[in-house]
């Protein structure tokens, strides 16, 4: 029995070490506001500025602090929940970003298939791209409509393609656009073969990622529940004012601050150990 427990502990330590040892891409050197703007664009919130997001975080913190203070009459508890409330808008942006990327990941193989059909039917590459705006998947037509309008107005393929990449704000979209740019500049008769290969690669990548996410989701959800459980208990204690009053003392404040720090550290550690490789826009 002792050997089995030692084996499990060794495997656990090995997994923790592997989670930190996996090499990661270097963090972007962009200013924080620029990275925030990129996240908003990738979430499809192009009309929202970083300043508006920051103001939303401040308002969320004030609302949560006010509600918590009214219910609990505890300043320390209100401050902790206000910090959690300030993170809600950014978490929503990240959730929208991941959902949009997942939706686009499912649409890209069909988009490439439409491009292949157009090229094989004798359309030029700009015409095939413009046709996606009318016969492509519904959720991705608008950027291609704007590409068609830009190309008809200026006649500059590269400039219109750059604006298309900016409107899509998607890592896979960057790869597709750069592949098409190279194919147009190099020329030749292999464009159809390139598009067929690209479509097969995108489908295989989507299938593999879906399987990994399905296996990962149950453990991640269980870890999130474990992180939230102590704070849900604290909310339930709000019905007992004498108990919560103890948190307004110096020792109670230190206890809450330590618990909040441990919660954040545990949550980030869980995300780091169970993370999947995240696609980044390296072909802007």
| Domain chopping of the chain, boundaries | 108-205
Of 222, 251, 212, 256, nearest to 237 by C-alpha is 256
Of 203, 183, 164, 185, nearest to 119 by C-alpha is 183
**pLDDT confidence tier of residue 59, bands split at 50, 70 and 90:** very high
Whether the per-residue pLDDT at 56 is higher than 90: the answer is: yes
Enumerate long-range contacts of 63-70, CB under 8 Å, 24 or more apart: 64/88
More confident residue, 27 or 102: 102
Question: What is the number of alpha carbons within 13 Å of residue 176 lying toward its C-beta?
Answer: 29
pLDDT value at position 84?
Answer: 87
pLDDT value at position 25?
Answer: 43
- Please tell me the pTM assigned to this model: 0.75
Q: Report, as an integer, the average pLDDT of 3-14.
A: 60
Q: Model confidence over 118-177: pLDDT tens digits? A: 888 888 888 999 999 888 888 889 999 999 999 999 888 999 999 999 888 888 888 888
Segment among 35-49, 96-110, 223-237, 266-280 with least mean pLDDT: 266-280
pLDDT value at position 205?
Answer: 85
Structure tokens given for 26: 């270097």
Q: Model confidence over 39-55: pLDDT tens digits? A: 898 888 888 899 999 99
- CA 112 vs CA 15, 107, 117, 129, 194: distances in Å: 38, 9, 9, 10, 10
Q: Model confidence over 83-101: pLDDT tens digits? A: 889 999 998 998 899 888 8
pLDDT value at position 24?
Answer: 46
């Amino acid at each position: 029995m002792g050997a089995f427990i030692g084996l499990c502990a060794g495997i656990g330590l090995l997994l923790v070490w592997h989670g930190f040892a996996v090499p990661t891409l270097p963090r972007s050197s962009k200013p924080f506001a620029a990275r925030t703007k990129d996240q908003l664009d990738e979430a499809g919130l192009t009309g929202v500025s970083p300043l508006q997001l920051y103001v939303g975080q401040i308002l969320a913190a004030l609302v949560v602090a006010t509600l918590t203070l009214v219910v609990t009459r505890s300043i320390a508890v209100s401050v902790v929940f206000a910090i959690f409330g300030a993170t809600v808008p950014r978490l929503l942006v990240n959730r929208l970003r991941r959902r949009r990327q997942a939706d686009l990941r499912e649409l890209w193989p069909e988009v490439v298939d439409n491009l292949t059909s157009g090229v094989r039917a004798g359309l030029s590459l700009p015409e095939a791209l413009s046709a996606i705006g009318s016969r492509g998947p519904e959720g991705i037509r608008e950027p291609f409509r704007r590409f068609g309008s830009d190309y008809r107005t200026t006649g500059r393929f590269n400039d219109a393609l750059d604006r298309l990449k900016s409107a899509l704000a998607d890592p896979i979209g960057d790869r597709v656009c750069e592949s098409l740019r190279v194919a147009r500049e190099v020329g030749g008769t292999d464009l159809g073969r390139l598009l067929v290969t690209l479509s097969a690669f995108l489908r295989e990548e989507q299938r593999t990622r879906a399987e990994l996410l399905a296996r990962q989701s149950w453990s991640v959800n269980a870890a999130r529940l474990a992180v939230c459980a102590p704070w849900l208990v604290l909310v339930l204690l709000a019905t007992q004012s004498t108990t919560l009053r103890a948190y307004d003392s110096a020792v109670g404040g230190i206890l809450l601050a330590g618990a909040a720090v441990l919660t954040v550290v545990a949550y980030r550690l869980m995300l780091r150990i169970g993370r999947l490789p995240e696609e980044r826009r390296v072909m802007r």
